Amino acid sequence: MIRIGIIIATIALLLSCSQNNSTSSGYSLKGKVDYTGESGDGDVEIMIYPYPVINDTLQQIMDEYPQIGVPVTPEMLFDKNESDPLKKAMTDNSGSWEVDGLSEGNYIAVLKKEYAYEFIYNLKVPEIDNSGLVELKKAIVYNDGDIINNNVIIEENSNVYFEGVVRVSEFGSLTINPGAKLVFSDSTLAYDKGTLIVNGRMTVAGSSDNYVQLFGDGDGLRDAWGGVRAGEGATLDFERFIVRNSYKGVGGDKATNKFRFAVFKGNTVGGKTSYNTIESECYNIVALDNETGMDYFAPNEETTINKSIIFRNYFGVILWGESTSTYKNSYLCLNRIAIRTYQFFNGCVNNSNFNYNERSIFIHGDNLNIGDTSLKVFENDFFSSKYYHIIINSYAYYNEARPVIVSNNFHILNLLVNIYGTRPHPNSFSIDFTNNWLNGETDSLAIEDCIFDKDDVEEQFKPYTGNVFFSPVSSFIVYNTGIQDE
């Protein structure tokens, strides 16, 4: 009787563990998929990933500046290409799937079949052991060489796959509704990457709780797919969208580019407007972990780039072209170079915060001895910088950079400005560096020690023949500096 009692107790314990979704090797997670394609519910690939964790610094910035307007969440930051899945499974013919061996924690399940994707977020194990029935919509497929000549509307939460180069003609339009996933073919060859070329009009209309996603089908981290490029006279009107892992991002030449409430993550270039852009709106942007977050070539154009968080990019923002554009109301943090300007850019940077960048602003002169560059930098907050806050350089083909740097707050004084040129391309213009608050410092000799110019190096290497005028110095923190809630 004692032996029978032990057996009964053991069976009861096993049943209890099974009901709690726990085994000796961890917890299990299961679900069911309803695939809308003709091939049935079987052979859907299930990939389980750890839930992303938002960087503490990024979270602090988002909390401090909600006026940026982009609610960066772990779901928005998730990138299937950043790591291998922890677990994989396939659905059976009924659409059922199950994985086991999971530790307690939070997970994301990625469902894939025939270019169609679905993401199941916030799967807290062991609280959740069954994701329930999830619909996986069959992808709308455009093949290499296809041309969209009519007005196409993509329904909410649809999957769309672009193989090779697909075009929207000047007579066509493409409208993308909330939650749609635009997936592009992958290639190691630049000319063969999945790319959408728009010669007509493309509208992306995500919602605040259901962003449109653009990403590559492959596993490339920087340049998995080509991008969405606008041809001459075309219009890209994008709102509430995420771009991941692209080669050239979104934007175009001699076109209208409007980007609002966007996330650019892990791209070679995130947002790009270039070559005689007709009209641009670039508001409420978050760019992180890109080689270049945003690249704006804007000759003969006045564009306002407003309310952005530029975080942990190599180049945060590049501004160039004969333009009087304004970059303002932004937070730039942990970038190799936060802002880089060159080639006739005569605009301004103001009301922005620079913190923990290696170099805050890198100002080049002009190209091929034509004209001059006179960037105005005013009413900004400069905090910690690894090297210099501002570098002024006529290096190589770029000549005569002469910025105006006035009415800024420099909270750390040790590395203010680095000015130099080269013998073939000397930098001779004087620099207006007046009325800045220099962490309370007013002593002229102490300030001069923080400016790297012709006296600090051998002249034949870095000739600079101008002067830096830093007096008067502001005795008080400059009023109205930093991101404004407009």
pLDDT of residue 465: 66
pLDDT of residue 342: 74
pLDDT of residue 486: 62
Report residue 306 as tokens: 């407003």
pLDDT of residue 274: 55
315, 336 Cβ separation under 8 angstroms: yes
Neighbours of 245 (CB within 10 A): 26
pLDDT of residue 1: 46
Number of C-alpha atoms within 13 angstroms, CB side, residue 79? Answer: 26
Rg (CA), the chain: 27
pLDDT of residue 281: 81
pLDDT of residue 172: 98
pLDDT of residue 220: 65
For 324, phi and psi rounded to 5 degrees? -110, 35
296, 303 Cβ separation under 8 angstroms: yes
Residues paired with residue 406 on neighbouring β-strands, in sequence order: 378
- DSSP letter (8 states) at residue 51: P
For 392, phi and psi rounded to 5 degrees? -115, 120
pLDDT of residue 187: 80
394, 422 Cβ separation under 8 angstroms: yes
* Rounded CA separation 142/466 (Å): 58
Nearest to 262 by CA among 310, 303, 230: 310
pLDDT of residue 467: 79
* Rounded CA separation 243/309 (Å): 15
The residue type at 392:
I
Element (H, E) at 61: helix 56-64
pLDDT of residue 133: 97
* Rounded CA separation 236/228 (Å): 9
* Rounded CA separation 104/347 (Å): 52
Task: Measure CA 307 to chain center.
Answer: 14
SS3 category, 227 = strand
Which single residue is written with the structure tokens 């154009």? 301
Residue 346 vs residues 207, 326, 341, 366: alpha-carbon distances, Å? 35, 9, 9, 10
Q: Measure the N-to-C terminal CA separation of the chain; round to a whole number of Å.
A: 80
- Which segments of 26-90 are extended strands (E)? 26-35, 45-50, 87-90
Residue 421 vs residues 68, 363, 427: alpha-carbon distances, Å? 37, 12, 5
Element (H, E) at 379: none
pLDDT of residue 17: 40
3-state helix, strand, coil in the chain (%, to 5): 10, 45, 45
Report residue 419 as tokens: 């000015």
pLDDT of residue 82: 87
- Strands 250-252, 212-216: parallel, antiparallel or unpaired by DSSP? unpaired
Residues paired with residue 355 on neighbouring β-strands, in sequence order: 333
pLDDT of residue 9: 44
Nearest to 301 by CA among 318, 277, 283: 277
Q: What does pLDDT average to in each consecutive run of 10 residues of the chain (486 residues)?
A: 44 39 77 97 98 94 91 92 94 97 97 98 95 97 97 98 97 98 86 91 97 90 87 94 93 87 93 63 92 77 81 92 82 95 81 94 66 80 90 60 89 81 63 92 88 55 70 86 71
Nearest to 342 by CA among 315, 376, 319, 316: 319
Residue 289 vs residues 17, 213, 315, 319: alpha-carbon distances, Å? 43, 17, 10, 19
Report residue 184 as tokens: 């592009």
Residues paired with residue 30 on neighbouring β-strands, in sequence order: 98, 130
pLDDT of residue 392: 79
